[in-house]
Structure 1
Amino acid sequence: MVETIPMTRELAIVLLLLCAAIIMFARNKPRMDVVALIMIAALPLFGILTIDEALAGFSDKNVILIALLFVIGDGLVRTGIAQRVGDWLVAKAGRQETRLIPLLMLLVAGFGCFMSSTGVVAIFIPIVLRMCQNANIAASRLMMPLAFAALMSGMMTLVATPPNLIVHGELVRRGLEGFSFFSFTPFGLPILIIAILYMLATRNLFGKRATSSSQPQRPHLASWVEEYALNNREARLRVLPKSTLIGKTLEELDLRATAGINILSIERSRTFGRKLVIPRRDTQLNEGDIILLDVTNIPSNAEELCEIHGLQIMPLSGTYFTDRSQEIGMAEVMIPAASQLIDKTVVEAQFRTEYNLAVVGLKRGQTAFEGSISNERFQIGDTLLVIGPWRYINRLKDEFQNLLLLNLPEEVDQVIPIPARAPHALIVLGLVIFLLITNVIPNVLAALIGCLLLGLFRCITMDAAYRSIHWPSLILIVGMLPFALALQKTGGVTIAANALLEIVGDSSPRIVLIGLFAATAILGLFISNTATAVLMAPVALALADGLSASPYPFAMTVALAASAAFMTPVSSPVNTLVIGPGNYTFFDFVKIGVPMTLATMIITVFLVPILLPF
């Protein structure tokens, strides 16, 4: 039996502070990370912990691991891997949440079987945010399914979460055979299926579909295409082996003057994929080049050009190269009063040579010119629509003397900074996952090596790495960690365990499982699931001894309950990470998490005695 410990002044203070924190979390005043900092200060002030103990969370390896995984996740975003995964999910599910939620949860749970659930969430947060943006879905509708799927991944395999290994180790320490790698899977899969159905049924509680903000919205590329009458003015032409253009420079061809054709960019083959070439006067055309053209009248000019010069028309999948928005962007600029471009045409101003951009639209007042603008002279106040690579569009911010940058489209926020580094980021991610699965080195060291390699391969910069870390989430985790130590030092955990033994010790085995699950889940509200497993595993085996029953159903119940940390945003770091992106409150987790926890308990109490008899 567990040693009886009386209520002390120190324990009363800890419980009062814990209640105060929960009340502030529930009211969401002040911010959750501020509450965490208040608790870090309060515990040493009341003499419960030393200052070193209260601040120990800042050096906790799991906190550092989460921070490092944020960096790895940002590396996946910057290289476009996150975009491709999100695009794949959206392509498979479309905008249908009834397909998107199950696919997302299955994918996250699959990853979580072999690596840290907090790591999975840190990596998937930017992926999900992009999916929400593309599918016009409020992030709150997908962030909680993401968190719950990551928690349930801990119910799938032996290495999926530390509580499983702790319970397994306690069995081995007692001289018993531990759990196998897939011992948890028969319990985790049914729970995951029920969770998917539950998320689909309750998704309307997460918020409505994203709607337009009351703030002024930036235009989209498609709106500019319509506004400047650019439809049916684009073409992609491949340079065939017989083409007369091969080896000639753009200055020699002078297609703008001879055919009213404006070459916007050139796609050129390389070892891996294709690269975009900026057209300059001395740029030579090669066999296999794909020329992106803006012409006044596509049907006649493009077909005629193909016949004369040996070209082939290539398909288009968007409107006016909106399908190329990762490489090519647009911007609206205005001609100021002191501009040297006034009274010059596009050719006279040598606009492409000066800015590496092409002028494809002109608006004077509210009227947009239709057709060719090559011979139109710029006037004060003219608005130009320019097109070209994003890096040159961004340089327009410094051209305030001759051009004033008026507007950038929404698509600028979705541009992948370094897509060419995607293979390097994939290799690094594969290495990190391998190290996490095999446990060759500590997880935090594996993540640190991954971050250093991402920096070495220029997948991420130091400044971007610092910006990628969600500091409020880390502060919240750090602030709640000292409570586990405080409860242990003051005897609070021992009192709770002793009370459980007294309440359910003489009951039937299934009732004992219910009490054990409930106690583990409730304890997990206040301390980490790892600490919960450490404290409850011995209690579970003591209950089995008292009932002269097999220890395995009791040990499995503790492991599953430790992963059922659905009820509050501070029950698990996984929940904490999605608070900000999902814009959740404390009670969002309560109203969704409590029924999910009860469902998990019912499934556990039903299945465990069947698969692991008493």
Structure 2
Amino acid sequence: MTTEIGFVFAVLGITIALFISDKLRMDLVALMVVAVLAVSGIVTPAEAVSGFGNPTVVMIAALFVVGEGLFRTGVAAAAGNWLLKVGGGSEVRLLCFLLPVVALLSAFMSSTGAVALLIPVVLSMARRSGMQPSKLMMPLAFAALIGGMLTLIGTPPNIVVSGALKEAGLEPFGFFEFTPIGAAILLVGAVYLITLGRRLLPARTSEQQTDHCDVPGLMASYGVSGQLHKLVVQPLSPLKHQTVVEAALRSEHRVTLVGIRRSGTLLSSILPVLANTRLEVRDELWVYGQENDIERLCLSHRLTHYGSPAKEISRMGREFGVAEVMLPPGTPLQGQSIKEGAFRQRYGLSVIGLRRRCEPLDTDYRETRMEGGDTLLLAGSWERIRALEGRRDLVLLQTPAELGEIPVHGSRAPLALLVLAAMLVCMTAGWLPALTTVLLAALAMILTGCVSLPEALRSLNATSLILIAGMLPLALAMEKSGALAFVVEHLVSWLGGASPLLLSTGLFLLTSLLSQFISNTATTVLIAPIALTAAQLLGVNPEPLMMTVAIAASTAFATPIASPVNTLVLAPGNYRFSDFARVGIPLQLLALAITLVMTPILFPF
């Protein structure tokens, strides 16, 4: 062993130890690796930072933009709603639908692309269902990796081993020759992930979820939970043909009108525009108020009370929400009543709760006087709530997590779907290189208005990109120093005279181990010739050994740096390094067992 090989092994070992210890951020560790390699002389300084311009890193960055376009136009939320509907809100049922979907996508396109596109969908589902993303993200990544085993084009290692067979003058693997083994691993892997694997997953809230409270949480903190009601104007109601101002629901009846649905259409504007809207027969009035106030209003004004239908409230949540603001000290509103504050006229929002010194107050629209430092819960359209940002007369304290899921560019959804479809077709048909296709798709998302340039830049997950870019030079250092060749040579010397099945086991374990730390494509390029040579030495058919290498290269389950797919879900799932090993190693062993059983049957030695 040379000094350079020993140095690279030491860097690799220290890097893994730092990842496992979780004492430093993984992206910081990756930057430290870049710095150490740059001064080591094993790779040049240019090679040490080459990962930041690597096509894989650039493609992942572009896919973040494509995924953001799907999110901002509401396509991701719509897909999540469909999966939630068929999944019935059950974590197990949801995984039963989600895992085959992502595996099927990965069989015909980049698994990295499939996961990047589905991350916003899964995050949306998790938020709406109250599930923890940590229970969904890792199964999503693993199913995508297994999906790559299903077809010839599912993952680069499959193409590498098929090409190696052809170069050796043998018959290359067909498009679907990987399918039986891949399908068996997918079936067994899905069962494992849904049962035991799900129990091994951590129960953590993602960083995205901890940034905001949700609407129910905000309403509960103000003591107004369950106070949204649906009323319908009857033909003999005195409210018929009155404007909202004339109806005086807030001042006379302590009931706040926040929305009107007429002929099935929700009027998107609320007060002050709503103040001049005349109420009509059969209008659905959505109001906030105490149950007894609602009942008195219905009796005196001939309104039908439909209670608080959960499905319709959920639908209302796409149009209306709440936000928490604070009155700054010295505010002109100090000493004024809520009515005198004219929040509807100023902001187009209604006050539905007030807290003073962290305690909710029972407020009277005309009598309660506001003070500096009071916090108010405002209700209204999401558009009006977004308009609160940057105002100086109010301090915006909290917007609920639901605001992030409301489509900002909902009218562009058809264009986003068109861009997505074109990207998938181009990648599947191979008309353009994958990197070119994804870059064009990201650019199209921006040019068509599906996502703005600032939104696109904010969508780039720096942690994932830095981690991938920082670890690529380490793989290059292992190749240039001879560390990889050193490992492979010792494997051949140990197993060269062994039985074909034992050799297959050794090749699987070595390929899988190397794939946890360097590119599975680079690993396959290195191991495939060794497998061919070993087959010739033993006088056996090389196909089962080559198939074993290809399958093993896709079992990158044990570390977050094993594959860009794992790195993508690291931050959304709020995972630690050890989480992947705990869940991934048993899955690797299952894949090993299935491969050793099925490969000799389908491809006899």
TM-score, normalised by the number of residues in structure 2: 0.85
With over 3 angstroms needed to count, the CA separation of the structure-2 counterparts of 1:358 and 1:508, relative to structure 1, is: same
In structure 1, the residue matched to 2:61 is 67
Among candidates 135, 149, 158, match of residue 155 of structure 1 = 149
The worse-fitting range, judged by mean Cα deviation, of 221-230 and 173-182 is 221-230
Q: Given that residues 157 and 550 in structure 2 are in contact (C-alpha distance below 8 angstroms), is that contact kept between their aligned partners in structure 1?
A: yes
In structure 1, the residue matched to 2:117 is 123
One-letter code of the match for 1:595?
Answer: P
Q: Report the Cα offset of residue 115 of structure 1.
A: 1.4
With over 3 angstroms needed to count, the CA separation of the structure-2 counterparts of 1:503 and 1:325, relative to structure 1, is: same
In structure 1, the residue matched to 2:41 is 47
Q: Report the Cα offset of residue 405 of structure 1.
A: 5.0
Q: Report the Cα offset of residue 557 of structure 1.
A: 1.0
Q: Given that residues 260 and 266 in structure 2 are in contact (C-alpha distance below 8 angstroms), is that contact kept between their aligned partners in structure 1?
A: no
One-letter code of the match for 1:88?
Answer: W
Q: Given that residues 233 and 302 in structure 2 are in contact (C-alpha distance below 8 angstroms), is that contact kept between their aligned partners in structure 1?
A: no
Instruction: Measure the CA separation in 2 of the matches of 1:354 and 1:440.
Output: 55
Among candidates 373, 376, 385, match of residue 393 of structure 1 = 385
Query: 1:199-246 CA distances to partner (integer Å, 9 max, x unpaired)?
Result: 22133332236599xx99847447637955575663265999x99999
With over 3 angstroms needed to count, the CA separation of the structure-2 counterparts of 1:286 and 1:596, relative to structure 1, is: same
Instruction: Measure the CA separation in 2 of the matches of 1:49 and 1:383.
Output: 58
Matches within 5 A, 1:570-581: 570-581=561-572
**2:312 is aligned with 1:317:** no
Instruction: Measure the CA separation in 1 of the matches of 2:460 and 2:437.
Output: 18
Instruction: Measure the CA separation in 2 of the matches of 1:208 and 1:562.
Output: 29
Instruction: Measure the CA separation in 1 of the matches of 2:348 and 2:334.
Output: 19
Instruction: Measure the CA separation in 1 of the matches of 2:573 and 2:305.
Output: 45
**2:449 is aligned with 1:458:** yes
Q: Given that residues 201 and 583 in structure 2 are in contact (C-alpha distance below 8 angstroms), is that contact kept between their aligned partners in structure 1?
A: no
Instruction: Measure the CA separation in 2 of the matches of 1:101 and 1:165.
Output: 29
**2:101 is aligned with 1:107:** yes
State the SS of the aligned residue for 1:277: coil
**2:52 is aligned with 1:58:** yes
With over 3 angstroms needed to count, the CA separation of the structure-2 counterparts of 1:487 and 1:383, relative to structure 1, is: closer
Instruction: Measure the CA separation in 2 of the matches of 1:230 and 1:526.
Output: 50
In structure 2, the residue matched to 1:77 is 71
In structure 2, the residue matched to 1:207 is 202
In structure 1, the residue matched to 2:19 is 25
Q: Report the Cα offset of residue 379 of structure 1.
A: 4.7
One-letter code of the match for 1:39?
Answer: V
One-letter code of the match for 2:173?
Answer: F
Instruction: Measure the CA separation in 2 of the matches of 1:237 and 1:400.
Output: 38
**2:113 is aligned with 1:145:** no
**2:539 is aligned with 1:548:** yes
Among candidates 405, 416, 430, match of residue 425 of structure 1 = 416
Matches within 5 A, 1:348-363: 350-361=342-353
**2:473 is aligned with 1:482:** yes
Q: Report the Cα offset of residue 585 of structure 1.
A: 2.9
The worse-fitting range, judged by mean Cα deviation, of 67-76 and 258-267 is 258-267
Q: Report the Cα offset of residue 551 of structure 1.
A: 2.6
**2:91 is aligned with 1:97:** yes
Q: Report the Cα offset of residue 404 of structure 1.
A: 5.5
Q: Given that residues 229 and 307 in structure 2 are in contact (C-alpha distance below 8 angstroms), is that contact kept between their aligned partners in structure 1?
A: no
Q: Report the Cα offset of residue 608 of structure 1.
A: 0.6
State the SS of the aligned residue for 1:157: coil
Instruction: Measure the CA separation in 1 of the matches of 2:228 and 2:49.
Output: 63
Query: 1:174-194 CA distances to partner (integer Å, 9 max, x unpaired)?
Result: 333322222111001111122
**2:528 is aligned with 1:537:** yes
State the SS of the aligned residue for 1:581: coil
State the SS of the aligned residue for 1:331: strand
Q: Report the Cα offset of residue 58 of structure 1.
A: 1.7
One-letter code of the match for 2:199?
Answer: N
**Structure 1: any 5+ residue segments left out of the alignment?**
1-6
In structure 2, the residue matched to 1:4 is none
Q: Report the Cα offset of residue 462 of structure 1.
A: 1.8
Q: Report the Cα offset of residue 605 of structure 1.
A: 1.0
Matches within 5 A, 1:513-532: 513-532=504-523
Instruction: Measure the CA separation in 2 of the matches of 1:282 and 1:314.
Output: 25
Instruction: Measure the CA separation in 1 of the matches of 2:227 and 2:450.
Output: 38
With over 3 angstroms needed to count, the CA separation of the structure-2 counterparts of 1:336 and 1:504, relative to structure 1, is: closer
Matches within 5 A, 1:239-250: none
Matches within 5 A, 1:498-509: 498-509=489-500
Q: Report the Cα offset of residue 61 of structure 1.
A: 0.7
With over 3 angstroms needed to count, the CA separation of the structure-2 counterparts of 1:398 and 1:39, relative to structure 1, is: closer
With over 3 angstroms needed to count, the CA separation of the structure-2 counterparts of 1:211 and 1:530, relative to structure 1, is: closer
Query: 1:540-594 CA distances to partner (integer Å, 9 max, x unpaired)?
Result: 2222333333332122111101101122222222222223333333333233322
**2:578 is aligned with 1:584:** no
Query: 1:505-536 CA distances to partner (integer Å, 9 max, x unpaired)?
Result: 33322222112212222232332100111112
How many residues are matched?
Answer: 597
One-letter code of the match for 1:477?
Answer: I
Cα RMSD for the two superposed structures: 3.9
Q: Given that residues 342 and 377 in structure 1 are in contact (C-alpha distance below 8 angstroms), is that contact kept between their aligned partners in structure 2?
A: no
With over 3 angstroms needed to count, the CA separation of the structure-2 counterparts of 1:587 and 1:304, relative to structure 1, is: same
Q: Report the Cα offset of residue 490 of structure 1.
A: 3.0
Q: Report the Cα offset of residue 440 of structure 1.
A: 0.8
Q: Report the Cα offset of residue 601 of structure 1.
A: 1.2
One-letter code of the match for 1:453?
Answer: A
State the SS of the aligned residue for 1:264: strand
The worse-fitting range, judged by mean Cα deviation, of 590-599 and 443-452 is 590-599
Instruction: Measure the CA separation in 1 of the matches of 2:490 and 2:465.
Output: 33
**Structure 2: any 5+ residue segments left out of the alignment?**
none
Query: 1:4-35 CA distances to partner (integer Å, 9 max, x unpaired)?
Result: xxx43333332232223223223234332222
Q: Given that residues 484 and 526 in structure 1 are in contact (C-alpha distance below 8 angstroms), is that contact kept between their aligned partners in structure 2?
A: yes
Q: Report the Cα offset of residue 266 of structure 1.
A: 4.1
Q: Report the Cα offset of residue 606 of structure 1.
A: 0.5
Instruction: Measure the CA separation in 2 of the matches of 1:545 and 1:457.
Output: 56
With over 3 angstroms needed to count, the CA separation of the structure-2 counterparts of 1:121 and 1:230, relative to structure 1, is: closer
State the SS of the aligned residue for 2:559: coil
In structure 1, the residue matched to 2:230 is 235
In structure 1, the residue matched to 2:318 is 326
State the SS of the aligned residue for 1:276: coil
Instruction: Measure the CA separation in 2 of the matches of 1:197 and 1:285.
Output: 55
Instruction: Measure the CA separation in 1 of the matches of 2:190 and 2:496.
Output: 35
Instruction: Measure the CA separation in 2 of the matches of 1:233 and 1:22.
Output: 53
In structure 2, the residue matched to 1:171 is 165
Q: Given that residues 362 and 368 in structure 1 are in contact (C-alpha distance below 8 angstroms), is that contact kept between their aligned partners in structure 2?
A: yes
One-letter code of the match for 1:425?
Answer: A
Instruction: Measure the CA separation in 2 of the matches of 1:414 and 1:69.
Output: 19
One-letter code of the match for 2:35?
Answer: A
With over 3 angstroms needed to count, the CA separation of the structure-2 counterparts of 1:40 and 1:374, relative to structure 1, is: closer
- Percent of aligned positions that are identical: 39
In structure 1, the residue matched to 2:2 is 8
TM-score, normalised by the number of residues in structure 1: 0.84
Matches within 5 A, 1:269-348: 276-279=268-271, 280=273, 281=275, 283=277, 292-293=286-287, 298=294, 317-318=309-310, 321=313, 323-333=315-325, 338-341=330-333
In structure 2, the residue matched to 1:3 is none
The worse-fitting range, judged by mean Cα deviation, of 490-499 and 549-558 is 490-499
**2:184 is aligned with 1:194:** no
